[in-house]
Amino acid sequence: MFAKRIIPCLDCKNGRVVKGIQFVNLRDAGDPGELAEAYNREGADELVMLDISASREGRATLMETVHRVAQHLFIPLTVGGGVKTLEDAQRLLAAGADKVAVNTAAVESPDIVDQISQHFGRQALVVAIDARRVGASRWRVSTYGGTNLTELDALEWVREVEARGAGEILLTSMDADGTQAGFDCELTKTIADALHIPVIASGGAGGPGHFAEVFLRGHADAALAASIFHFETHTLRSLKEYLQTQGVAVRL
């Protein structure tokens, strides 16, 4: 059995880490470089950094912040936010990212998925999908940091991006994001069971039991969280020790 991954997420705006509920009412959570160093030391399996306002504000991800975060890490770093072209991906990888995440640009210009995958390899590309429930077992894709609900069906979209060369899916439940009420396991399982590539569950982590649930019931390959780590509600070590007691394989 492959070990499940625990991934802290740094949602960045104006060079600072922020966290809100369903992408609004943001509060400051610290310096990205300092948090990255701490998570690297504490045993995170990977780290994700998202410039959450880049697409909405029509600008590229802040390279200085990416470079500063990468300097503190010995674990894989995924960076996203405002990636629209092959050149944007090139700059992020050159600044120290191991993988790039695309979201809004992939929806608006799906060929970017093919281009990045063909140029840098499937392993360097994560397609981020913000999904909002619109009915029983139905979800639609949101773009621009969750502010724009499209007509795109989430299940159809993940199948398309896998075929185009995505190496991994970062799946965020817009309904659960920031609530700390638990991951949307139905959404995660629906997407994970439809694909042959790994799915990272995101949105709703509030405690160790939620992680066990999304791995065992939601079939996630990895789980991402922010608030419970940033504000020290739980530590990575205690979370992994708990998961081991629940029969979930993790790296200590």
User: Catalytic residue numbers?
Assistant: 11, 130
Q: What is the DSSP string of 178-215?
A: TT-S---HHHHHHHHHH-SS-EEEES---SHHHHHHHH
Q: Where are the strands (E) in 88-124, listed by range? A: 99-102
Q: Using an 8 Å Cβ cutoff, are 236 and 39 in contact?
A: yes
- In Å, what is the CA distance from 206 to each residue of 35, 183, 232? 19, 9, 11
DSSP state of 3: P
**144, 218, 216: which is closest to 176 by C-alpha?**
218
Q: What are the residues whose beta carbons fall under 8 Å from the beta carbon of 172, sequence distance 6 or more?
A: 128, 129, 130, 131, 202, 203
Q: What gap in Å lies between CA 135 and CA 193, rounded to an integer?
A: 19
Structural tokens at position 186: 């139905």
Q: Which residue is associated with the tokens 């369903």? A: 22
Backbone angles phi, psi at 111, to 5 degrees: -60, -20
Q: What gap in Å lies between CA 118 and CA 134, rounded to an integer?
A: 34
The residue type at 210: H
